Chain A
């Protein structure tokens, strides 16, 4: 077998790279919002907290942005986790590993799409 076998690595790398940018820009502040702002910095009135969060997230540009961030970040993680597992010694399981990692990312992206459309 040639060492110059065609691979799809460039395609997966471009998703990994785009996801890396999205995760780097958006996730720290999103983690801060769901973990600390919502439970501790938005007052005690549950109804008003809910209304504010729902009105924030249901705007279409926000839904689309969230979809992009979640989809690309999932593929970013899938790519890194696949390479980490290969570095841990799972080199032999190449195709199965790809199906598991990118399949899980695709599943997460579909779930995100369904949830965001129905918000």
Chain B
């Protein structure tokens, strides 16, 4: 019998090409998002305490440079997730109108960037007005 093929699986495969590095960067946005979700649970819990003291501690933490730095990282990671997600949508859900293929950019805008703008604008308006 021939020797079975054992595919090489180098430990640093994801560093080897630009495409692999971008793939890994995209996948790792989930670590930042999970971290933010845990923070959000604490944030909602503090808000629900119903006393001014809990809210003051929430505010002073939000104003701390560490919070600003972590929120900046989380924002970049989340925005990168959104952009890569919307750009992949037309590849996962290709659409046709009659015989014609709907252009990728049209699907990305209609199912991604457009709704993203509406949701973000609405939430900002609701918090600021």
Interface residues of A (CB under 8 A from B): 20-21, 23-42, 46-47, 49-50, 52-54, 56-57, 66, 70, 73-74, 76-78, 80-81, 83-84, 87-89, 108, 111-112, 115-116, 118-119
17 chain-A/chain-B pairs, Cβ below 8 angstroms:
A23-B78, A27-B81, A28-B120, A31-B74, A33-B127, A34-B40, A35-B68, A41-B128, A49-B55, A66-B44, A74-B34, A77-B34, A80-B30, A81-B34, A87-B27, A89-B9, A108-B38
Interface residues of B (CB under 8 A from A): 9, 11, 13-14, 24, 27-28, 30-31, 33-34, 36-41, 43-45, 47-48, 52, 55-56, 59, 62-63, 67-68, 71-72, 74-75, 78-79, 81-82, 85-86, 112, 115-116, 119-120, 123-124, 126-128
Bound-state Cα–Cα, A110 to B68, Å: 28
Q: Which of B30, B41, B47 contacts A76 (CB 8 A)?
A: B30
Is B119 a contact of A25 with CB atoms below 8 Å? yes
Q: With A34-B71, A35-B62, A80-B30 in contact, do A87 and B37 touch (Cβ < 8 Å)? A: no
Q: How far is the CB of A51 from chain B (nearest CB, A)?
A: 10
Q: For chain B, what secondary structure do more than half of its interface residues adopt (helix, strand, loop), or is it mixed? A: helix
Q: How far is the CB of A22 from chain B (nearest CB, A)?
A: 10
CB neighbours of A27 from chain B (8 A): 33, 36, 78, 81-82
Q: With A30-B40, A70-B40 in contact, do A87 and B14 touch (Cβ < 8 Å)? A: yes
CB neighbours of A39 from chain B (8 A): 59, 62-63, 67
